[in-house]
Amino acid sequence: MRVTQRIAALAIALTATGIRPLAAQIDYRNLDDHRPVRTEDAYPIERYAFELLVPYEYENAPAGEARHVFTPELGYGVLANTQVGLKLPFAAVEAADETDWGFAGPRIFALYNFGTARRTLPGLALRADVALPAGGLAGENAQLTLKGIATRSWGSTRLHLNGGVTLGDEAGRPEVSAEPDWAVSLAADRTFLRQSLILIGELGVLAAASNAPTEVTAGLGVRYQLTPTLVLDAGASRRLVEAAGPDLGLTFGLSHAFALAGLMPRAVR
């Protein structure tokens, strides 16, 4: 789809008040990080589009610790092939008879796509995340995570490869939702039901810290388009190596796409 057609698709649904949902959620098929699996695809949301995400994550560790994380997220297609966003994670950590809860520090991120897949090359993207030291469960220092992303399509089937590293002092990382020291994941998805349902399977390998054991996990997820602007996602993951990784991880969330009239090009308002 050409850029002008994409912009027009966003503009069709603008209301007289200046705020309307998009006429069609162009990016409903896109995989966001941890939504519903760790792996994401190489494509940002459309230019001038907003996407509001409200995910919940649960993780039960081998030692018996349980974590509940709610991370509202807002993304914006600020430029062609470029997305920026903000995450605000709130968490509760249950250990023994005590529960700690609080703000786990804001996260800002940017993703740039170098181009769609071609006959010989996949779609490629680079993502940068910064975790800031603010909140009771946040880290002591800012942390930078860099990730490379590749996506290849074959009709209704797509394959995704992610590889990332986190820079900065390990001792200063957040207590909850910290990005691992390094991580590599491979996922495949397939569309069903006339492009309203996506099933995803994932295999991931990571190390939470440089001296931590390597975790190997498997995950399954689903994304379903409830309405043209509202998408439901759910996923589950499980460790494949004894005593390394979560006994069980679950995620559930909704995402909503919309646009603001004041930010649209005048020619298509």
pLDDT tens for 115-127 read 877 777 899 999 9
Partners of residue 84 on adjacent β-strands: 76, 110
Residue 85 confidence (pLDDT):
98
- Alpha-carbon distance 105 to 189, whole Å? 31
Element (H, E) at 9: helix 3-11
Determine contact, residues 236/216, Cβ cutoff 8 Å: no
pLDDT tens for 163-187 read 999 998 887 778 778 899 999 999 9
- Per residue, the 3-state secondary structure of 153-180, as one string, reads EECCEEEEEEEEEEECCHHHCCCCCCCC
pLDDT tens for 184-209 read 999 999 998 776 899 999 999 999 88
- Alpha-carbon distance 218 to 236, whole Å? 9
pLDDT tens for 201-236 read 999 999 988 888 899 999 999 999 998 889 999 999
SS3 27: coil
DSSP class of residue 11? H
Whole-angstrom CA distances from 26 to 15, 50, 150 are 19, 11, 19
Would you say residue 128 has pLDDT above 90?
A: yes
Partners of residue 149 on adjacent β-strands: 125, 162
Q: Mean pLDDT, the chain, as a whole number?
A: 86
Q: Which residue has the tokens 């679950």?
A: 250
DSSP class of residue 166? E
Domains present along the chain, CATH in parentheses = 3-268 (2.40.160.40)
- 107 contact partners, CB below 8 Å, separation of at least 6: 86, 87, 88, 89, 129, 130, 131, 132
SS3 106: coil
